[in-house]
Structure 1
Amino acid sequence: PGNSEKTAKASQIANNLAGEEDTSDVNNLTVQESIKAKAQANIENIATFQKSKKCKI
């Protein structure tokens, strides 16, 4: 349970990122997973960078 909610949310986010016209990847779960993985990696990298610089943004 909850998977369809996550998928819907991922599709919504992808729609927002792609804009209204390019929805070609919205139903492509492989692309969705890739986008989520990259986003998560970016979040972790930013957190690591902030810790190493000891500054808050």
Structure 2
Amino acid sequence: MGRVVGLLVLLLVLVFLVLVVLVLVLFHLQLVVLELVVLLVLLLQLLVLVQLKLWNRSSRL
């Protein structure tokens, strides 16, 4: 299950990166770029925390 969760997280990250690239190409706005970068960093931090919690639970079991 851990590997499946990891693959799903990787797919989500790739989808977010693709969306960011599309937004950059379509709008070329520096403010929007900065906001998206901040949001991506926060999302990545949340994903890492969730994965660590899942791994801790699986290791305890």
Give the TM-score of the pair, scaled to structure 2. 0.49
- Could you tell me how far 1:17 is from its partner in structure 2? 2.4
Which residue of the partner structure matches residue 53 of structure 1?
A: 54
Determine the structure 1 residue equivalent to 2:39.
38
**Structure with more relative contact order (C-alpha pairs < 8 Å, separation 6 or more):** 2
Match of 2:13 in 1: none
Number of aligned residue pairs: 38
Gaps of 5+ in 1: 1-12
Distance 2:36 2:48 in 1: 18
Q: Give the aligned residue type for 2:34.
A: E
Q: Which runs of 4+ in 1 moved over 3 A?
A: none
- Unaligned stretches of 5+ residues in structure 2: 1-18
CA–CA distance in 2 between the matches of 1:37 and 1:17?
A: 17
Greater per-residue helix proportion: 2
Cα distance in 1 for residues equivalent to 2:37 and 2:46: 14
SS in 2 for 1:31: helix
Residues 17-39 of structure 1 show CA distances to partners (whole Å, capped at 9, x for unaligned) of 24x6xx1x21x111000010011
